[in-house]
Amino acid sequence: MANRFHICLLLCAIGGFCSVLSDNLQLEPLKVTVLQGSDARFNATVQRSWTYMTFHVQNRLALTVPATGEILSSKNYSAKFCAVDKSCVEFTIHNTNHNQSGPVVCFLQGAPVSRTAHLDVQVSGEINIKEGNVTVEQGQQVEFECVMTGWYPKPIVSWIRNNQTVNSSLYNTTHEDGHATSVLKFQAVSNTTVECQAIVPALHHPKSSFVYLVVVPKPPDWTVLIAVVCSIGGFALLVLLIIGIIFCCKRRKEKQANYQDEMSRRVRTQSQLSGVNPTGQQQGQVNAGYVKDNQVTRTSIAPSELYLPSILEMPDIVNSNQAGNIYNNAYNIPNESSLKKHRHLTIV
């Protein structure tokens, strides 16, 4: 076997014999990209007679296929003839794993002939928008962070708002060791459906995470209105204060005039009642108790008879006809008929 292999190499070097042998074996497709967990298939076609065919994955023997006899498949690898003349063998890798990514080599035993294809097993990880459903006020700046873990290779990330793709300049995406983060910022205007998508070439449809943005009307800004109301209120208060001051001054002047008129009226009334004329001369009234000295005599008046009580009501001497009698009785002065001699006493 070794001598035959060396002879073939020598012939290849001299006349290109190996290229002729290589044309007798084809392996298709030369690159297979699958999602982890799915199956990968390769077809080996032989244009000459052969005895054994082997397949190697990650430089390890995976399966041997005899030209005659039964094919012994395993849990992870299997093969079958795809042509009646056994010129085509379909090799299948079941439940692929990311660790199986790499070269897949097909050898024909008995001749130094091989073909190599490449297997790329990609991983669809998890995707989630951290914030979840959000309720904000209208006009507020919102931020959504989409986190992707366990992806291989780096996923292609995109954002969609209300079924419209967002321009890539409006969000920022970073990748690190199978972990990707994308941040989207925008201003809340109305209720919005926000979707973050991630995809790898082996994934037929992108994986998505949905959240809902609920926008509530922004409360009115009362600052300007309060300032205007305060300004108007302050101005109105100032006007009312000025009007009040003017009104009080006017009322005060009216009260002073009324007071002066009242005092003048009282003075005139009092002057009339007290007998004072406008010239200031006193006009007396007839004293009913007055008698001449030679008409009324009194022998003597005891000192106790001149005692004045502590509370004395002065009678209306001017207007009362009984003033003389009340006055005499109040001071224990006998009537004219009982007096022989009278001393006249005038109290002002």
Q: Average the pLDDT over each of 62-66, 76-80, 224-228, 277-281 and give the range with the smallest value.
A: 277-281
Q: How far is the C-alpha of 31 from the C-alpha of 39, rounded, in Å?
A: 14
Q: 3-state class of 343 per DSSP? A: coil
pLDDT at 110 over 80: no
Q: Pick the more confident residue, 86 or 39.
A: 39
**Burial class of residue 162 in the structure, from the number of CB atoms within 10 Å of its CB (0-12 exposed, 13-18 middle, 19+ buried):** exposed
Rounded to the nearest angstrom, the gap between the alpha carbon of residue 186 and the centroid of all alpha carbons in its chain is 15
Over residues 314-332, the pLDDT tens digits come to 555 444 445 455 445 555 5
Identify the band that residue 53 occupies on the pLDDT scale cut at 50, 70 and 90. Answer: very high
% of the chain exceeding 90 in pLDDT: 45
Over residues 220-247, the pLDDT tens digits come to 767 777 888 888 888 888 888 888 888 8
Q: Which CATH fold topology does 2-122 show?
A: Immunoglobulin-like (2.60.40)
Residues of the chain with CATH 2.60.40.10: 2-122, 126-216
Q: Report pLDDT for 271.
A: 74
Q: Report pLDDT for 95.
A: 95
126-216 CATH choice from 3.20.20.140, 2.60.40.10, 3.30.70.100, 2.40.50.180: 2.60.40.10
Q: Report pLDDT for 98.
A: 92
- The residue-averaged pLDDT of 84-91 equals 90
- The residue-averaged pLDDT of 147-169 equals 94
Q: Report pLDDT for 159.
A: 97
Q: How far is the C-alpha of 324 from the C-alpha of 287, rounded, in Å?
A: 8
pLDDT at 131 over 90: no
Mean pLDDT of the chain: 78
Q: Report pLDDT for 222.
A: 72
Q: How far is the C-alpha of 234 from the C-alpha of 246, rounded, in Å?
A: 18
Count of other CB atoms within 10 angstroms of residue 189 = 11
List helix spans (H) across the chain: 2-15, 17-22, 222-274, 323-330
- CB burial of 265-288 (b: ≥16 within 10 Å; e: otherwise) equals eeeeeeeeeeeeeeeeeeeeeeeb
The H or E element containing residue 108 is strand 102-108
pLDDT at 297 over 60: no
Q: Report pLDDT for 317.
A: 45
Structure tokens at 9: 């190499």
